[in-house]
């Protein structure tokens, strides 16, 4: 009898989990679904969706049509393109590519141009970190896999504090700041050696700028990652354990 009850309970749990997954999938709004299907997205970006879960992440972030958003350190523009289509013609996206990155790798300038070109509702921003001025009244600032770069040794020790302060200033009251990055061990040399960062350090720094911690999602968790390899190491690249934190400006 006990075994029969256990089997029944497990079956009910499985059904419940399936129902929850269906509800989660149904909760992705048409605006984000359409953004993911946007023909302007490169095929290479689309192939990365399975690992990066952009639809679920943007739902969790609260992205909606009409939003004013910034893609902070846009890299190749993966999220710039999705945000542009998701916020729609009544919204706007500012795509920031630091000049420090472009000096390090000139292709970043070309990638910024390519990502912005198909969208009339995207404004490219290119300046040094120290000179950055974001648009006022933003609904969202999103930074993905780049927060650790604020701590690279070539930059001033207070670079992260200054950037968090600028993001805080630019967001409207109630605006959201979402930080996604590779989980790393505590240590000042972690960003340079591993291109990772300690999540506790990020939370401490962002809260010090005045933000309130809202929560986190395990959407990008990967328990198999030992947190010891550089994220570009072939053994772990594309499979890192990542944290996703959501903060709000009071």
Query: Which residues make beta-bridge pairs with 124?
Result: 95
pLDDT confidence of residue 74: 98
CB 249 within 8 A of CB 172: yes
Structure tokens belonging to residue 36 = 């993911």
57-71: average pLDDT: 98
CB 58 within 8 A of CB 85: no
Q: What does the pLDDT look like over 96-106, one tens digit per residue?
A: 999 999 999 99
User: For residue 22, is it within any domain?
Assistant: no
**Residue pointed to by tokens 């500012």:** 94
pLDDT confidence of residue 19: 34
**CA–CA gap between residue 69 and residue 80 (Å, rounded):** 9
Backbone angles phi, psi at 213, to 5 degrees: -70, 125
Q: What does the pLDDT look like over 2-39, one tens digit per residue?
A: 444 433 343 343 334 333 333 344 488 999 999 999 99
User: For residue 126, is it within any domain?
Assistant: yes
User: For residue 229, is it within any domain?
Assistant: yes
Structure tokens belonging to residue 176 = 């959201």
Query: Which CATH number covers residue 214?
Result: 3.40.50.150
**CA–CA gap between residue 83 and residue 230 (Å, rounded):** 28
Cut 0.85: pTM above it: yes
Q: What does the pLDDT look like over 101-124, one tens digit per residue?
A: 999 999 999 999 999 999 999 999
Domain that holds residue 130: 30-248
Question: What's the number of domains the chain is made of?
Answer: 1
């Amino acid at each position: 009898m006990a075994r029969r009850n256990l089997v029944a309970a497990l079956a009910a749990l499985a059904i419940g989990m399936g129902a929850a997954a269906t509800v989660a999938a149904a909760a992705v709004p048409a605006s984000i679904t359409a953004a993911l299907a946007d023909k302007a997205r490169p095929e290479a970006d689309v192939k990365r969706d399975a690992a990066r879960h952009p639809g679920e992440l943007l739902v969790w972030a609260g992205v909606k049509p009409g939003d004013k958003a910034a893609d902070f350190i846009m890299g190749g523009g993966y999220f710039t393109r999705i945000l542009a289509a998701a916020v729609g013609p009544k919204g706007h996206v500012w795509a920031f590519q630091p000049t420090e990155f472009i000096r390090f790798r000139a292709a970043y300038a070309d990638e910024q141009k390519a990502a912005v070109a198909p969208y009339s509702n995207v404004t490219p921003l290119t300046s040094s970190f120290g000179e950055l001025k974001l648009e006022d009244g933003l609904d969202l600032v999103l930074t993905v896999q780049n927060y650790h770069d604020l701590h690279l040794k070539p930059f001033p020790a207070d670079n992260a504090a200054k950037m968090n302060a600028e993001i805080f200033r630019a967001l409207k009251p109630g605006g959201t700041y979402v930080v996604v990055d590779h989980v790393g061990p505590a240590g000042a040399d972690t960003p340079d050696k591993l291109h990772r960062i300690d999540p506790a350090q990020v939370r401490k720094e962002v809260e010090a700028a005045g933000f309130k911690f809202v929560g986190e999602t395990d959407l990008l968790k990967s328990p198999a990652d030992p947190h010891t390899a550089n994220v570009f190491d072939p053994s772990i690249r594309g499979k890192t354990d990542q944290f996703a934190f959501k903060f709000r400006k009071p």
